[in-house]
Amino acid sequence: MPLDNPIFEAHAYSTIKKDHLGHWYATVVYETEDVPQIEPKTASGVDVGLKSLVALS
């Protein structure tokens, strides 16, 4: 990835770890602009027809 990529401009921090099995993991955290929320014009629901929420056995 080129270093002039916009992701590097907003880069907050990163970590690289190796677990006990030898697997490597990388975590990259960066900030982005907020995305405006879209208000739904209609709402719908689904009834799955549960007969009981909890069953004892």
Residue 18 is predicted with a pLDDT of 96
Q: Give the residue numbers spanning the domain of 14.
A: 1-32
Q: What are the tens digits of pLDDT across the range 5-52? A: 665 566 678 899 999 999 999 988 877 778 888 888 887 777 677 776
Give the predicted TM-score (pTM) of the model.
0.39
At residue 16, the pLDDT reads: 93
Asked if the structure places residue 18 within a domain, the reply is yes
Contacts of 26 (CB under 8 A, 6+ apart): 14, 15, 16, 17
Q: Where is 2: in which H helix or E strand?
A: none
The DSSP H or E segment spanning 16 is strand 11-18
pLDDT at 38: 85
- The reply to whether 55 falls in a domain is no
Tell me if 48 is assigned to some domain.
no
- 1 domain-assigned: yes
Q: Is residue 19 domain-resident?
A: yes
Q: How many domains does the chain have?
A: 1
- Residue 52 domain flag: no
Is 38 contained in some domain?
no
Predicted confidence at residue 31, as pLDDT, reads: 77
Helix (H) or strand (E) holding 6: helix 6-9
